[in-house]
């Protein structure tokens, strides 16, 4: 859901390689469950990633923040029709912030199809997108909880966690994903109001939410935070956003050391350019939006459906020795 344009770190690349192995195993398991021989090579698994999704140029499409996926052209793929689960999160209970659209929506759909009950947090103005996600979760026979509100206030963060725990009957996966990004060319034009709002959304809220969630998390639980390659290679026009994403990386690494002895894992995902409402609603200038993702080796932005498997794998027991790590998906931009 973020602009996040250039290189990932060596740790990100190695992490993505490790997750690719786990993802291959899951693909084989899903294929076996559908009557296809495990490990069989299909046209889907061999599809060229360069041509899998739309490439720029894209039309100009300004939206007011926070933006809606339903108003984007082309509409993002969150895995609504493509994601196939295999029971990897059966019986789990997850809270995902920013779950109405973008990466959070893709994670919510994937979690439900992997057998988890899911609560999503979102802003009230995103209700139309959120209703679609709630319907998709329930279509899988899973419990869905909608929690609209503004995470820039500590009181709402606490109430969101309470409602999720109460209605899900517990909590063992927390995805701090909601974010604010606004492109501003000159430091002189970054207002204190914007700076404060970006930090409240991207740094304060994960702190408040995680602090409220910790009493409900036990051994085997997982916390995931959405960082960004901006943490490693900040863009000139994302002065405040890049700083918050660096804080998200430190969040995962520090908290993993605190919670490791309790059997709770903490990791971060650092996306590159992904096609989400964050971009047309101020995350990119419209002239840059038309070419968004075109400077990556794959020549296009990522779609939320393409990163959801990382969130599934990090929440599952398959990655039980991975904690305090940052996993990237940036379209082939490589290492620092």
Return the H-helix or E-strand segment holding 266: strand 265-271
Answer whether the bond into residue 121 is a cis peptide, omega within 30°: no
Nearest alpha-carbon partner for 307 in 114, 107, 48: 107
**CA–CA gap between residue 13 and residue 210 (Å, rounded):** 27
254: tokens are 């520090």
**CA–CA gap between residue 126 and residue 233 (Å, rounded):** 30
**CA–CA gap between residue 36 and residue 31 (Å, rounded):** 5
Cα-trace Rg, the chain? 18
State the catalytic residue, choosing from 232, 241, 311, 321. Answer: 241
Is 122 annotated in the active site?
no
**CA–CA gap between residue 322 and residue 303 (Å, rounded):** 25
- Answer whether 124's CB lies under 8 Å from 299's CB: no
Return the H-helix or E-strand segment holding 6: none
**Length of the chain, in residues:** 336
**What is the secondary structure of 81-112 as a DSSP string?**
TT----STTTT-EEEEETTTSHHHHHHHHHHH
End-to-end Cα distance, the chain = 22
C-alpha triplet 295, 199, 164: angle, nearest 5°: 100
Strands 265-271 and 222-226: parallel
**CA–CA gap between residue 289 and residue 204 (Å, rounded):** 28
Supply the residues annotated as catalytic.
241
């Amino acid at each position: 859901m973020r602009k996040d344009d250039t290189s990932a770190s060596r740790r990100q690349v190695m992490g993505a390689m490790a997750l690719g192995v786990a993802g291959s195993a899951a693909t084989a398991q899903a294929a076996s469950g559908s009557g296809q021989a495990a490990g069989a090579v299909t046209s889907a698994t061999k599809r060229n990633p360069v041509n899998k999704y739309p490439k720029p140029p894209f039309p100009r499409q300004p939206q007011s923040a926070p933006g809606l996926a339903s108003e984007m052209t082309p509409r993002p793929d969150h895995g609504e029709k493509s994601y196939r689960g295999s029971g990897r999160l059966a019986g789990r209970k997850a809270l995902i912030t920013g779950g109405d659209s973008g990466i959070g929506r893709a994670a919510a759909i994937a979690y439900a199809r992997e057998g988890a009950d899911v609560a999503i947090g979102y802003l009230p103005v995103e209700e139309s997108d959120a209703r679609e996600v709630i319907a998709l979760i329930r279509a899988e026979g899973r419990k869905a909880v909608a929690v609209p509100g503004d995470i820039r206030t500590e009181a709402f963060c606490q109430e969101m966690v309470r409602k999720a725990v109460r209605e899900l009957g517990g909590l063992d996966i927390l995805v701090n994903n909601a974010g604010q990004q606004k492109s501003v060319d000159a430091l002189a034009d970054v207002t204190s109001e914007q700076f404060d709002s970006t930090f409240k959304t991207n740094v304060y809220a994960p702190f408040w939410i995680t602090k409220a969630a910790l009493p409900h998390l036990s051994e085997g639980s997982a916390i995931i935070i959405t960082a960004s390659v901006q943490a490693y290679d900040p863009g000139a026009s994302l002065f405040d956003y890049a700083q918050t994403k660096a804080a998200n990386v430190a969040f995962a690494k520090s908290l993993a050391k605190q919670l490791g002895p309790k059997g709770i894992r903490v990791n971060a995902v650092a996306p590159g350019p992904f096609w989400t409402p964050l971009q047309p609603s101020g995350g990119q200038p419209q002239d840059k939006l038309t070419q968004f993702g075109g400077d990556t080796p794959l020549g296009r932005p990522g779609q939320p459906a393409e990163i959801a498997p990382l969130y599934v794998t990090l929440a599952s027991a398959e990655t039980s020795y991975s904690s305090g790590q940052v996993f990237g998906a940036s379209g082939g931009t490589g290492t620092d």
